[in-house]
A and B are shown apart, each in its own frame.
Chain A
Amino acid sequence: MYGYQLRAEFEASTGSTWPLNVGQVYTTLARLERDGLVEPVGVSDDDEGRVTYRITDAGRAEVEQWFATPVARQGRPRDELAIKLAMALTTPGVDAHRVIQTQRTGTLRSLQELTRLKAGADEKSDTAWLLVLESMIFQAEAEVRWLDHCEVRLGAYAAPAVPSPAPSSPREVIR
């Protein structure tokens, strides 16, 4: 396979969810060749002179290893939403319930769109694309469930956990 074909294959199997820059594909192929994971097997006869690559045994082992290894969830450097909620609790004047509901509505909107895409996909010919979509659907659902949980945890919570600036200024109870 050559670069353009690889890109087309990747995008077809993931429903173009993550568009690839073809330059990215070629630099990656060059690195893979450097590391002995793919090898060039020839140049096309046409004017374009495309280089065709083949996976090596070492490359195949690497792929098997990749499929055999779970993805580390802590790989995300920062979870903005968790940080936002934590800060909402400790920042005076911020209604954490409101922050949660705003996020829940936003996540539900995403979930609706993903569901719409799923409703339009063909069960048989779009299986790979459906797997990608459903991964996003379940992640969005998990986020909503986590927000529900946060809300329950905050149930008894009525005022910011930080001390009031002055005891004489009564703070409105935040719901």
Chain B
Amino acid sequence: MIEYVLELDDVTRVHGSGDTAVHALRGISLGVLPGEFVAVMGPSGSGKSTLLNVAGGLDVPSGGSVRVEGTDLGSLSRADLAALRRRSVGYVFQDFNLIPALTASENVALPRELDGVRLRDARRDAEAALAEVGLDDVGDRFPDELSGGQQQRVAIARALVGPRRLVLADEPTGALDSRTGEMVLRLLRARCDAGASGVLVTHEARHAAWANRVVFLRDGAMVDETGVATPVEALLR
């Protein structure tokens, strides 16, 4: 049996009701395997961010089910859902969302501390996660002492600290210049190649192309996906 890290099954999300109902998601089914990096492309208003919020348990679907590492989010109590999010799901946002009063290392350790892990272990996990994104030397610095690219790498380290295996990224390169943005995508790709699972929401084709698979959303529905990649030889004519 295929073990999806994230599995959306016929997910719908409706805001409001009756004539004024807005169908943000219409029957989305999507499975993300370990090591897979999936990009979701679509214009604004197509449901990309709603999809990511539903996948991470920040929003509740109106129909269908969302499973993270096999657990149906709909079956969980509020407290259990929060615990699963802390343990399994990391978010990366356009504006980094680091806590300014905490050092890089403390930011990365926070989800572990909140999960009740001993401080020393949380710090050790944070250092390992920072080393994996190539930032072993800036753990003691505060976010405003880091460049935008470094802050986003800290955010990726936080997203994948400890046992977390699923990173959900919402336009993570939006605030960065093109070279730094590319570095962030290379890093996300590398973390997925190392076994994590990633979902990237973007409207930029050049960024989506770092993913193994690209799915297209229009008006809340999946209209197409790239599926298996074409061989290189077909391109270089």
Contact = CB atoms under 8 A, between A and B. Distances in A.
B1 interface: no
Interface in B64-105: none
B214 A101 contact: no
A112 B224 contact: no
Contact of B223 (A101, A141, A145): A101
Interface stretch (B10-18, B112-120, B156-164, B228-236): B228-236
A148 B204 CA distance: 11
B141 interface: no
Interface string B183-207: 0001001000000000000001110
B206 A138 contact: yes
Interface string A101-128: 1101101111111111101000000000
A138 to B, nearest CB: 7
Given A108-B226, A110-B230, A148-B43, A115 B210 contact: yes
Contacts of B41: 108
A108 B209 contact: yes
A96 interface: no
B224 A141 contact: no
A129 B186 CA distance: 18
A148 B229 CA distance: 22
Q: Which of A102, A107, A141 gathers the greatest number of chain B CB atoms within 10 Å?
A: A141
A8 to B, nearest CB: 17
Contacts of B205: 107-108, 111, 140-141, 144-145
Nearest to B193: A119
B216 A105 contact: yes
A17 interface: yes
B225 interface: yes
Q: Which of B205, B208, B212, B223 gathers the greatest number of chain A CB atoms within 10 Å?
A: B205
Question: Which applies to chain A's interface (DSSP): helix, strand, loop or mixed?
Answer: helix
A138 B182 CA distance: 13
Given A117-B232, A148-B43, A111 B225 contact: no
Contact of A112 (B43, B186, B214, B236): B214
A104 B189 CA distance: 22
B209 A111 contact: yes
A105 B189 contact: no
Q: Which of B189, B209, B223, B229 gathers the greatest number of chain A CB atoms within 10 Å?
A: B209
Contact of A115 (B209, B224, B231): B209
23 contacts: A101-B224, A102-B224, A104-B224, A105-B226, A107-B205, A108-B41, A108-B208, A110-B235, A111-B205, A111-B208, A112-B209, A113-B229, A113-B230, A113-B232, A114-B235, A115-B209, A116-B229, A117-B232, A119-B186, A138-B206, A140-B205, A144-B205, A148-B43
